[in-house]
Amino acid sequence: MLYSFAKILMTTGLRFFYRHIHVTGLENIPSKGPVIVIANHNSSLMDAALLGILLKRKAYFFARGDVFVNKFIKKILWWFHMMPVHSYQGGRNTLSANSNSFEAGRQILSKGGIIVFFPESTSHVEHQLLPFRKGVFRLAFDTAMAGNFFFDIPIVPIGISYDHPVECRKDVQVHAGRALWLSDFKKEYEDNPAVAILHVCRQAHQAINKLVLHIADYRRLSTAEQYLIVSRNNTTINAPGWKIASDEKLEREKSICKTINNAPEDEFENRQLRAGGYFNALSAGGLTDKTISANLPFPFWKIILLWIGFPVYLAGLLLNGLPVLAARWIADKKVYRKDFYSWIFVASYSVMYFLWLLLVLTVSLLAGWQYAIILLALMVVTGLFAYACKGWLKEYSQYRKWRTISGNHIAELKAMRNSM
């Protein structure tokens, strides 16, 4: 019950935080029986939150042990079905604690449940797929052998890619590949367990590598990101819904990563100079690439709405803004790693907005249920308008900066962009 409620809260929060979520391949996860889901780890607990709302079955997640910092946090994470797993850096004391979590994982699998594991071990925001640790694959074989391979265990790879690690109204991609079946490695495991575990670990890494954006050379990451930004702003997404069942974006962006990865050093340096020069020129003018690609002017009807609807915008901030501001303060002041930021922010405003809504409606009910209904309607309508209006204000700010730039400079920026 509590898990379902938490899932509803996070789903609502994520729908406002991410503009679109591109999803494919979830049909590769069997509808019943034991399943191990493995995924890359780009955004700490946000990765688990996304999979938690997308998976149709109740899942249990192995999370890095150092986030279980006290009893209160432990209780919250247990509500989300998260279990601690520690790395070697934590020492023998923390590693001994893994035995309880792995035993719990074996019990879940033996009862036909799903566990989710992030074999990179540590989360990171860069578009790079790190080497995998073997713990989850050892757990899979141990569970299968304990049942004498009575049930086969599929290992389903999932790739997660974020347009931006912390910014709101960006896209995220979640793509699942075909399962690896332990029965294919049974004979090899019986002959040499270590070799079989290493073999399935490598195949799993290759499977996820096909589902994510990966830049092999750390020095090329920032340039690749600049090319990805330009590509995203060149592409119009006409899908009406929040969830998009397509891997078109993934294939397009993997092609960009492939170009950057395969470019000889001299060719890459030329690309780096062109992209760096263009984005430095944008930064000097306070502009974004989206502004250059959008061919402003700002639509006149939006200007009218901004003026006429400003009181509605203020009402929306007054009725809905406090939980968001409080969540932003918590994330800004308490989070020191980018990979934790988005989850802390979304989780905070989802919970605080629910509590704020309960408080406001409880107070208004003292005056009568009619007033509570009216206030609820006002919160929804003004909140949605304020949400849209905030984006328009950013666009209008860019429009005003655009108007101060000479036509020659705009043409120069466009030429720099086209040369990338």
Domain assignment present for 48: yes
Tell me, yes or no, whether 176 lies in a domain: yes
Q: Is residue 193 part of a domain?
A: yes
204 with 94, same domain?
A: yes
Do both 187 and 309 map to the same domain? Answer: no
Split into its structural domains, the chain has a count of: 2
In a domain, 276, yes or no: no
40 & 140 share domain? yes
Pairing of strands 180-181, 114-117: unpaired
Q: What is the mean pLDDT of residues 152-174?
A: 95
Say whether pLDDT at 417 is over 70: yes
Report the pLDDT averaged over residues 218-232: 97
Whole-structure pTM value: 0.92
Q: The CATH number of the domain where 97 resides is what?
A: 3.40.1130.10
Binning pLDDT at 50, 70 and 90, where does residue 252 land? Answer: very high
Q: Do 200 and 304 sit in the same domain of this protein?
A: no
Tell me if 166 sits within 8 A of 341, measured CB to CB.
Answer: yes
250 domain residue, yes or no: no
- Strand residue runs (E) in 147-190: 154-162, 170-176, 180-181
Residue 242 falls inside a structural domain: no
> How much is the mean pLDDT over the chain?
89
pLDDT digits (tens, 9 = 90+) for 58-93: 899 987 666 666 676 667 677 677 777 766 554 555
Q: Please check whether residue 100 lies inside any domain of the structure.
A: yes
Radius of gyration of the chain (CA): 24
> Given 156, 184, 219, which residue is the final one in a domain?
219
Let me know if residue 206 belongs to a domain: yes
* Average pLDDT for 300-314: 91
Which pLDDT score is estimated for 337?
87
Backbone torsions φ then ψ of 306, nearest 5 degrees: -65, -40
Q: What is the pLDDT of residue 122?
A: 87
Last residue of a domain, one of 197, 219, 241: 219
Same domain for 150 and 27?
yes
Structural domain harbouring 312: 300-404
Helix (H, G, I), strand (E, B) or coil at 385: helix
